Amino acid sequence: MKTISIYPSTEINIKCPTCISSEMLKLPYSPKEDFQMTCSRCNEEIIVKLNERQYYRKQVSIPVYYSLHDFDNILDTRVKSGRIVDISRTGIGVEISALKYSKEYEKEGNIVTISFALPPKNKQIKAKGKIVRIFGDKKLRTNIGIQFLNLDDYQSQTIGLFLMP
């Protein structure tokens, strides 16, 4: 029996982890607890766990620039780059090459200035964030969890619109 994680909704696209087929569940109400289902294609039993995060996270691949210093030019030598791999209303997950990782620079608790553009209109966001988590294999890729700090109304609305389905 395999497990998948979903966000509660009345329409849920379930992808079977065994045969990779997709099924759209249409429910009268959002589920309130985890449930079990059977894939109609391969008959695999699947445990569907509800993601209990407060906010939806969207998987993305967006260039991001960050620095311990405020910056206006991404070519500044103190600015580092990576890719946003997921984004929510409260923060971003950034993946960087392990070659760029520095224990002093990418350290939990550090406050960074981050700059990125959200598609499709490439609306630029420049904000402050706090590094709240460092994880990954540190040989190839390192992942950094950055929590947004004090977003203004424009930034918050732009991110909220981007996250809409």
pLDDT of residue 73: 93
Percentage of the chain modeled with pLDDT above 90:
55
Q: Which residue has the higher pLDDT, 25 or 125?
A: 125
pLDDT over 60 (residue 163): yes
**pTM exceeding 0.75:** no
Listed residue (83, 58, 63, 74) closest to 143, CA to CA? 83
CATH number belonging to domain 58-163: 2.40.10.220
Within 10 angstroms of residue 92's Cβ, the number of other Cβ atoms is 26
CA-to-CA distance for 35 and 91, rounded, in angstroms? Answer: 29
Task: For residue 125, give both structure tokens.
Answer: 């966001």
Q: How confident is the model at residue 55 (pLDDT cuts 50, 70, 90)?
A: low
CA-to-CA distance for 39 and 16, rounded, in angstroms? Answer: 6
State the span(s) of the chain assigned CATH 2.40.10.220.
58-163
Question: Scanning the structure block, which residue is given the tokens 């985890």?
Answer: 34
Longest dimension (CA), the chain: 55
Render pLDDT for 111-142 as a digit per residue (tens, 0 to 9): 999 999 999 889 899 999 999 998 877 678 89
Strands across the sheet containing 35-38: 2-6, 45-50, 35-38
pLDDT of residue 98: 84
CB 11 within 8 A of CB 5: no
Q: How confident is the model at residue 46 (pLDDT cuts 50, 70, 90)?
A: very high
